[in-house]
Structure 1
Amino acid sequence: MAVLLDTAEVAADDRHEIFREAMLAASGATRVELEHVPGGISGRMELHELGATRIFTAQSSGIALLRDRRTAGGASPEAVAIAVQGLGVGRHQMGDRQRLVKPGEVMVVDVTRAFDFSWSGTGSSTSLQVPIAELGMPLSTVQEASASLERSPLYGIVSRYLVDLTARAERLASAPLAPSVGEASVHLVRALLAGAVGDRPDTRDVLEQTLLAQVRAYVREHLRDPALSADQVAVALSVSRRQLFRICARAEFSLEQYVIGKRLEGAKAELGSPSGRGRSIAGVAYSWGFKDSTHFSRRFKAAYGMLPRDWRRHAAEDTSSSQMGAGPR
């Protein structure tokens, strides 16, 4: 699935009713009100499947979604929806709690409770729909977390992730890795919710393992940056330096050794490849984030039992022998 509805392809006189009915079916609201605008309402809805999860995006002129208490009271949702505001400022009310949802801010869409969500002018919102069965978390925990999502150390990460996921949703949904992306999204949402309910035995491991996965992913993406540091990682993942080191210590994970190990792996592979043999050893070292070639050589020997120049010669000899052995017989 991709585009569910685009009012640009609907006759002007039919847009109001068609868009309203489509939003009723997709949002879990029991009433949809559309803001009057010159020229008629405009809107677009997209739905993309990523394994067990789905990304639903809606952009439109002013809209209000309301769910009444009677309908909400009998709801038993199959999925939890985590939404991030795109364009405009949303107004969300659930019970006595009211908040403005600014671009980039995240909220839980809870269809088991009455709610009122709206925006004026052009606005947009994206929700990641995660099946409760996949989430493996009681609905009561989800509801508790929804009131304090900002407390979770993963709040900023999830916000950026949802924005990036939305931008790439169509391409990802058609790729073979779509189920893997969906699985990773479930883990991230689970950790977001676990972090929001506080430091409890039943949620701590989920949060810490997800943060460690994010640390490893960030490091792999920035290995070649010589300025890569614990402070940079902490800022990128929206956690404090102290919290980062505490989580690493609990998992007996050395961030410094992980960075060095991955850089050495990359440098070793490049030194042994035909394309890398034409580069100087110092050049390869610098390209993998090492600031000093002597330090690099010492680390390389400690890890692999030989100097970089000896490894390069050894790799070249192996390649030459393989090519000779593959010749005509």
Structure 2
Amino acid sequence: MGYIVASADDAGGLGPEELQGGQIRRYGVPARLNPEERFEHWRTWYGTAVDTPMRLEKVDSPVRRNFNPTASTLCGPGFSIVELVNEPVAGYWNRDSCSGDIRLVHFKASSAEFNFSGRSEVISPGTVRFLDLSSGGGFTAPAGLATVQLNIDRSLLGLDEKSVKRLQRMTDVRENPMVRGLLLPWLSDWQRTGIERAVHRLGPVARSMMVALISSLLEEPAAGDLKPARLAAIKKFIHRNYRNQDLDVDAVVAYSFLSRRALYYLFEDEYLPVKGYIRMLRTLEALDLLTDPNSRRRSLAGMAEASGFKTLQAMRRAVKECTGSSLRDVQENPEALRSRAHELRKLIGT
């Protein structure tokens, strides 16, 4: 296990890619090297790219021919996300006395045996847990190891040492509703196209999600603002379901366990209220269908139904209000309407 904070230069694997508002870096061993050289390259790079110094050793001899580990990192204000795919390897670390982060790790594939302060634990695929590097230890992963983790500056969460230790003693929190319903989908999707444009907004969201999770796990009142996490969860629910004609404000209220008034308050600083947000997503879906080169092969009523509108007239009104154009105008001038749809997506942050 490693916590990537730097990337190889151009002479190494894949050079860093700098992004506005944050940075995403990717690394892979050079393909031109033979297997033994690839392992040495990975081991050397790994030892300089982690904030907890770690030594890697082979578990197979010889190194498998397709040895191809990778690492990707997104760094934002007060947090980082790391995705790591390790080939068969063993790792050892010394006591981490200087890190101010708390680390939530999703072990995505393959079992590995970890040693924490002399105590052995087998961590199975699917496990989600806080990782404790405060004392020396190591791991052995004969089949490799794939992980994605969220690191948060501990000072942003108001955690004392006792609370941190309680969290680190929890061996698997994957069944927690916050983990299952929000954090895991979010971490699974972090490398999606366009995340660089939103990185400045991810810090408060990541912190809010972690505060909500920790409050749930420790059964203590949250010490931070949960609004960003709740808003992110509700928007995700709407995105998954807006094509369903039965989705309305009442359905969102039932999902969120909030009162209608509290739900409206949650959206008060957004570009649109919750009802308008649902309608806008349906309108954008309709515009995508209407501007598709094959749109004339589909009926307008069918496109309205596929977008989540209950009637064709409802789709006509929504498109007209958002673009000033009729459905026929949209189909006859698709490029202009695609530009308008792009502007609308930026306004609502999708």
> Which residue pairs with 2:263 in the alignment?
253
Aligned partner of 1:108 among 114, 130, 137: 130
Match of 1:225 in 2: 244
TM-score for the superposition, normalised by structure 1: 0.63
Q: Which letter does structure 2 place at the counterpart of 1:23?
A: Y
Give the percent of matched residue pairs that are identical in Structure 1 and Structure 2.
Answer: 16
Tell me the amino acid that sits aligned with residue 152 of structure 1.
N
Q: Which amino acid aligns with 2:87?
A: S
| Equivalent of 2:234 in 215, 218, 221 | 215
**Counterpart in 2 of 1:302?**
none
Q: 1:179 aligns with which of 197, 200, 219?
A: 200
Measure how far apart 1:125 and its partner are: 2.0
Q: Do the aligned partners of residues 139 and 152 (structure 1) sit closer, same or farther apart at CA in structure 2, a change above 3 Å counting? A: farther
For residues 325 and 31 of structure 2, the distance between their equivalents in structure 1, rounded to whole angstroms, comes to: 61
Letter matched to residue 64 of structure 1:
A
Which residue of 2 is the match for residue 146 of structure 1? 168
Paired with 1:123 and 1:271, the residues of 2 have a C-alpha distance of 42
Q: Answer with 1 or 2: which has the greater Rg.
A: 1
Out of 216, 225, 229, the residue aligned to residue 195 of structure 1 is 216
**CA distances 1:48-77 after superposition (whole Å, capped 9, x unpaired):** 334233333332322222334xx34xx131
Q: Name the amino acid aligned to 1:100.
A: I
Aligned equivalents of 2:30, 2:284: Cα separation in 1: 52
Unaligned 5+ runs, structure 2: 1-15, 17-24, 265-272, 327-350
How does 1:21-40 map onto structure 2 within 5 Å?
Answer: 21-25=44-48, 26=50, 28=52, 30-40=54-64
Secondary structure at 2:177 match in 1: coil
Q: Are residues 136 and 248 of structure 1, via their aligned partners in 2, closer, same or farther at CA, if it must alter by over 3 Å? A: same
Compared CA separation, residues 143 and 210, structure 1 to 2 (3 A): farther
- Kindly provide the amino acid, as one letter, of the partner of residue 169 in structure 2: A
The residue aligned with 1:56 is: 82
Q: Does 1:6 align with 2:29?
A: yes
Q: Which has the higher helix share?
A: 1
Task: Write out per-residue CA displacement over residues 68-88 of structure 1, whole angstroms, 9 at most, x where no aligned residue.
Answer: 4xx34xx13132332222332
Which structure has more relative contact order (CA 8 Å, sep 6+)? It is 1
CA contact (8 A) 2:286 2:304 kept: no
Measure how far apart 1:219 and its partner are.
0.7
Cα gap change, 1:11/1:292 in structure 2, threshold over 3 Å: closer, same or farther? closer
Q: Please, which runs of 5 or more residues in structure 1 have no aligned partner?
A: 235-240, 298-306, 318-329
Residues 117 and 172 of structure 1: CA distance in aligned 2, closer, same or farther (over 3 Å): farther
Against the structure 1 CA distance between its residues 135 and 118, is the aligned structure 2 distance closer, same or farther, given a 3 Å change threshold? farther
TM-score (normalizing by structure 2): 0.60
Aligned residue in 2 for 1:126: 148
Amino acid at match of 1:127: Q
Q: Which whole-Å CA distance do the structure 2 matches of 1:44 and 1:249 have between them?
A: 48
For 1:148-186, what per-residue CA distance to the aligned partner results, in whole angstroms no more than 9, with x for missing partners?
A: 334632111322322221x43xx556x333332354333
Letter in 2 for 1:67: W
Distance 1:97-1:292 versus aligned 2 partners, 3 A rule = farther
Q: Deviations over 1:262-290 (max 9, x none)?
A: 44456789999xx79x9999778645535
Deviation digits for residues 210-257 of structure 1, max 9, x if unmatched?
234301332145312235589x989xxxxxx7xx55x41497338xxx
Q: How many residues align?
A: 280
What value does the CA root-mean-square deviation take over the aligned residues? 4.6
Secondary structure of 2:222's counterpart equals: helix
1:155 and 2:174 correspond: no
